[in-house]
């Protein structure tokens, strides 16, 4: 569901190809949703069948032909409806915590090594978010409120990785003092 509407919102800003969408997912959308190109092309087909978008074939001479997708009236309507809908909190699935839950079978240094590796990955991710701060995504915003919303999305990621980082530091410290 989310993927469909994540895509539809962009197509509503301007007509786009699957290729364009993939680039957007890799640059900015990745801060709140991820997708591969195979998923994007499949989802575009479904959206076309549902009448949310329509296809325009664009013939090019020196570049491969492409399919530009435009939003339909039905598409706009459905998007507006969807953004209002209450959703459930996602099911919790935290692989590192599963590992920690049975980590007592390891010597302390191996548990700590595992946590240090996790910490490194969180730090990398956090850097990526913070470098985005004066950001691609805010400069495309159509209104000040949209700009505020997009900045809030980025902040959500930053605060959540910061909290995770603090937790992992505390946990490492706790293990060392045990």
Partner DNA sequence: CTGCCCATGTAAATGGTTACATGATTGA
Partner DNA sequence: TCAATCATGTAACCATTTACATGGGCAG
Q: Within its chain, how far is the Cα of 132 from the centroid?
A: 14
Select the binding partner of residue 73 from DNA, a copy of itself, none (C-beta < 5 to 8 A, by kind): none
67 in contact with DNA (CB under 7 A): yes
CA atoms within 13 A on the CB side of 149: 8
Nearer of residues 67 and 160 to a copy of itself, judged by Cβ: 160
176 in contact with a copy of itself (CB under 8 A): no
17: alpha, beta or left? (left if phi > 0; alpha if psi -120 to 50): beta
18 in contact with DNA (CB under 7 A): yes
Among 37, 76, 125, 147, binds DNA (CB under 7 A): 37
Select the binding partner of residue 17 from DNA, a copy of itself, none (C-beta < 5 to 8 A, by kind): DNA
68: tokens are: 């530009």
Q: What angle do CA 34, 148, 36 make, to 5 degrees?
A: 10
Residues of this chain, 76-115, that bind DNA according to CB under 7 A: 91, 93
Other Cβ atoms closer than 10 A to 147: 16
Other Cβ atoms closer than 10 A to 7: 26
Site string for a copy of itself, 105-144 (x = CB under 8 A): xx-x-xx-xx--xx--xx--x----------------xxx
Query: At closest approach, how far in Å is the CB of 148 from DNA?
Result: 26
β-partners of residue 54 are 70
Nearer of residues 67 and 70 to DNA, judged by Cβ: 67
Phi and psi for 72 in degrees, rounded to 5?
-105, 170
CB 36 within 8 A of CB 81: no
Select the binding partner of residue 38 from DNA, a copy of itself, none (C-beta < 5 to 8 A, by kind): DNA
Residue numbers at the binding site for DNA (CB under 7 A): 1-3, 17-20, 22-23, 34-39, 41-42, 44-45, 60, 62-67, 91, 93
């Amino acid at each position: 569901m989310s993927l469909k509407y994540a895509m539809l919102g962009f197509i509503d800003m301007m007509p786009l190809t699957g290729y364009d969408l993939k680039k957007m997912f890799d640059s900015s959308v990745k801060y709140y949703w991820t997708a591969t190109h195979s998923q994007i092309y499949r989802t575009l087909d479904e959206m076309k069948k549902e009448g949310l978008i329509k296809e325009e074939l664009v013939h090019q001479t020196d570049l491969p032909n492409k399919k530009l997708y435009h939003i339909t009236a039905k598409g706009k309507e459905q998007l507006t409806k969807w953004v209002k809908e209450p959703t459930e909190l996602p099911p919790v699935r935290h692989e590192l915590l599963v590992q920690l839950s049975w980590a007592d079978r390891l010597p302390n240094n191996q548990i700590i090594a595992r946590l240090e590796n996790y910490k490194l990955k969180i730090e990398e991710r956090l850097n990526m978010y913070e470098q985005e701060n004066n950001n691609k995504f805010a400069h495309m915003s159509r209104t000040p409120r949209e700009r505020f919303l997009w900045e809030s999305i980025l902040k959500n990621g930053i605060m959540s990785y910061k909290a995770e980082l603090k937790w992992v530091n505390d946990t490492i410290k706790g293990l060392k003092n045990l």
